[in-house]
Chain A
C-alpha cells in the first residue's frame, strides 16, 4: 500500500479528460481494445449505446443480425476464425435471454466473447420493470465472468477487465450488463487503460520443471506413446510448437473435433479423429498405448466413452492451462499444467528423437480396415443416392483444404469433421461441447467477418438450418460472402440413427419437413440451387465456390445412412463398431 502511494506521488501525471456519456466511453474502450466488428440488435434498454454508435459508424462496423442468438453465434464464429475477442450487443430482457445458448456454447468451447447487454434504469432494478430480467444471475453458470454496471464511471475499468478475462488463460465469454442510466450519465473520462492484471485471477499456472522432466522421462521410455490433442493447441497459438514436438518424437497424434485444424489433415503423424464417431485406429489403440499424452483437451465423454475402461493400461500425461481440468475425468500420472506454448518446447527439448515405425504401422493397418469397411463406401459410392461424405470429399478437392468449414450439429457435422481436409489452423468451426443446432449459419457469417480473405463454407443439415434460417437476412443486408451447403436427408438424422440402432427403429418425431430452401434463399436475394444427382455434384460445388457473393447449395442425400464407426454410449472406445 505504501509503495503504491509513493508511485502516485512520483508521477503526478495530469490526464486530459473528456466529458462523455457512458455509451461513448464504452465505444472508446472497444476501439482501444482493437475491436472493429460488433454483432448486435438494438432495443429500448441499450438505446443510449446505439445512439453513441451512430457517431462511430466509421470506426466500428456494427452488423445488424436478425436474432440475438444469431448475433452471439456470429461473435463466436468471428472469434474462432480471427483469434480475437468477439463482441456482441443485445438489449435487456428477451434480448439478453436470447444470448444464453451462445454463452453456454462459448463457455464450454472456451471462446472469447465480450457481450454487452442493456438493462433497465438502476432505480427500476428488482421492480419487474418492462423488459427487466435478472441477467447477471441467469448468465452466471454460463459465463467466465459477468458484472453489472450501474454507474458510468465504472465503464472503462470494467471493460478493460472484461477483455482481459475473456481472452487470457482459458478463454471464455464475459457479459457486462449496463443499466440505462449508466449509458446516459456523463462523466470525466480519463482515457482507457488496457488491463493485464486482476488480483484474484491467475490466467495460467506457472510451469513446473519437475513435471516436464517426469513427462519427458515417460515419453522417452515409451514403446507405444500416443498424443491426443484438442483446441488448447489452437487457443494457445501453439500449432508450430505442437507440430515440432510430434515430429521430433514421431508420436502418432489424434484430435478432438475442436482441435482438428491445428496441423494439416494430411500430416503423416495425424492419425485421425477421437471419440464416438472418430476413426477406428485412434479409438482402439487408445486402449493399447503405454503413454497417453493429452494436450489442450478435456477428456469429454464423447471422446472417452466409458471412463472405467478408458486407457487403463497407460500412463497419462495431461498438458492443460486450466488446473481444474487436471484429474477431472481421467486421473493423470504427470500433470504438466501451464500454457502449452511454453510447455511443449520445454518438453520437446527433453525428449529423444524416436521412430516408432511399428507402432505407427498399427494405426495405418486399422486405417486400411476402416477405409475398406466404411470410408470408401461413404466417399466413393458407385451407385445409389448421394452420400454426405462424397459432398465433403468433392469440396476438399475443389478447395484444396484452404477453406474455413463451419458445421452445424448432427450427422453432417460428424461426416464433415471426419472427412474435411484442412491445411490451415482455425479452419474448423463447430459447436463441439454444447452441440448447438443452428450454430453454423450465423457462425459462418461471423467467421467471414473475422477472416474476410478466406473462403467460408457452412455445412448444415435440413433441421439445423431452419433453427437460425432468419440470418439469411443478415447476409442479404451486409452482402457478406458465405457459401452454404445443406445436406438434406429429410430427417433429423442423428436422432433417427440412434432410434434405428437403439430404439428398434421407432422413428419418433424425426421426420422433418423443410421449405424450398432455394426459394427461401431467393426471397433473401441469395442465389442457390438444389441437386440430387451425382453428375451434378462437382460442377455445382464449383459453381457455388466461384459465385460472387453468397450462395446456397442444397444437396439431397440418401435418407437413412448411419454414421460409422461408432462407439455406442456406455461402451469403451475399444468397442468401436464399424457397422
Chain B
C-alpha cells in the first residue's frame, strides 16, 4: 500500500476526474487553473484538447481530494462565463488511459533483455528502433506504465515521458445534444443547472 493510499484512507480523499466542456477561448486555461491554485489544490494531471464538437474544448483534470472539495471546485468552474458544463467522476465511473514513451539504449536492450518478452508482458510496442536508441510506447493505467518504467530502469533508461490522463465517462451520452440546447435562448432545466445539483438526493422529505 502506497503512502498516498494510506493518506487517502485517513483523509477521505480519492482520485477524481473532472471533465469540463468550454468555449475555445484564450485565457480560459488560466481562469480554470486559478480556481485550484487559489485554494492551494494540486492538479495531478491536466489534458486539454478539442472535443468531438467543432469549437468546443474539453479539459480532463485529475486531482486527489475529498468529494466535498471536488463538488465545490466543479461549481466554481461551471460558474465561469465560458464554461459550458462540468462533470466529476471517480475512477470507477470512467475508462481511463495514460500513454508513456520510453527511450533506452538499443545495444543494452538487445544484449540484456528479451525485448520480445518485455513487449509482450507490458503490452508495449516499439515506435522507433535506431542504432543508438529504441523508443517504446505503452498505454494503460498508472501502475501499468510504472511497471514498464521499473523494468527498463536497470537497462540505462535515457528518457521517459507520460501523458496526462484522458477518460471516457461510462454513463455519458456525449455532448452533441446538450450543445444544441445551450444554443437556444431558453434551454431546458438540465442544461441550466449543475448536473450534480440535479442529481442531488431527493433533497428533503418531511
Contact = CB atoms under 8 A, between A and B. Distances in A.
Contact of A200 (B38, B81, B205): B81
Interface in A196-220: 196-202, 204-206, 208, 210-211, 214, 217-218
Contacts of B189: 206, 208
A112 to B, nearest CB: 14
A138 B26 CA distance: 14
B206 interface: yes
Given A140-B31, A322-B79, A324-B78, A199 B84 contact: yes
A141 B37 CA distance: 11
Interface string A142-185: 00111010000000000000000100000000000000000000
Contacts of A337: 193, 197
Interface stretch (A327-335, A352-360, A423-431, A471-479): A327-335
Contacts of B115: none
B67 to A, nearest CB: 12
Interface in B3-34: 22-23, 26-27, 30-31, 34
A136 interface: yes
A326 interface: yes
A206 B194 CA distance: 11
Nearest to A161: B81
Contacts of A514: none
B45 interface: no
B167 to A, nearest CB: 22
A368 B29 CA distance: 55
B72 interface: yes
B114 to A, nearest CB: 52
Interface string B182-193: 110101010111
Nearest to B75: A324
B47 interface: no
Contact of B204 (A208, A214, A322): A214
Nearest to B187: A202
A206 B197 contact: no
Contact of B197 (A200, A323, A333, A334): A323
Interface residues of B, number: 33
B12 to A, nearest CB: 16
A503 interface: no
A200 B22 contact: yes
A148 B84 CA distance: 21
B82 interface: yes
A194 B45 CA distance: 40
A200 B27 contact: no
Contacts of B38: 141
B147 interface: no
A221 interface: yes
B76 interface: yes
A202 B192 CA distance: 6
Nearest to A220: B206
B55 to A, nearest CB: 10
A140 B29 CA distance: 11
A334 B203 CA distance: 7
A210 B30 CA distance: 37
A163 to B, nearest CB: 13
Contacts of B191: 202
A127 to B, nearest CB: 18
A137 interface: yes
B182 A140 contact: no
B82 to A, nearest CB: 5
B148 interface: no
A205 B191 CA distance: 9
A350 to B, nearest CB: 14
Contacts of A328: 72, 75
Nearest to B190: A206
Contacts of B206: 214, 217-218, 221
A214 B204 CA distance: 7
Given A205-B193, A211-B203, A324-B76, A200 B34 contact: no
Contacts of B23: 199-200
B48 to A, nearest CB: 16
A136 B27 contact: yes
Contacts of A322: 79
B175 to A, nearest CB: 12
Interface string B64-96: 000000011001101101111000000000000
Contacts of A333: 203-204
Interface string A217-245: 11001000000000000000000000000
B195 to A, nearest CB: 11
Given A206-B189, A214-B203, A199 B182 contact: yes
Nearest to A328: B72
Contacts of B203: 210-211, 214, 333-335
A203 B121 CA distance: 53
Nearest to A204: B192
Nearest to A332: B203
A196 B72 CA distance: 28
Nearest to A210: B203
A137 B30 contact: yes
Contacts of A196: 185
Nearest to A322: B79
A140 B31 CA distance: 6
9 closest A-B pairs (Cβ-Cβ)?
A: A324-B75, A202-B192, A200-B84, A145-B81, A324-B79, A201-B81, A206-B189, A200-B82, A200-B23
Given A141-B38, A324-B72, 13 more contacts: A140-B27, A140-B30, A140-B34, A141-B34, A148-B26, A214-B203, A214-B204, A322-B79, A326-B75, A327-B71, A333-B203, A334-B203, A337-B193
21 contacts: A137-B27, A137-B30, A140-B30, A144-B81, A145-B81, A148-B26, A165-B81, A199-B84, A199-B182, A200-B81, A206-B193, A210-B203, A211-B203, A214-B203, A218-B204, A323-B78, A323-B197, A324-B78, A324-B79, A326-B75, A333-B203
Interface of A: 136-137, 140-141, 144-146, 148, 165, 196-202, 204-206, 208, 210-211, 214, 217-218, 221, 315, 322-324, 326-328, 333-335, 337
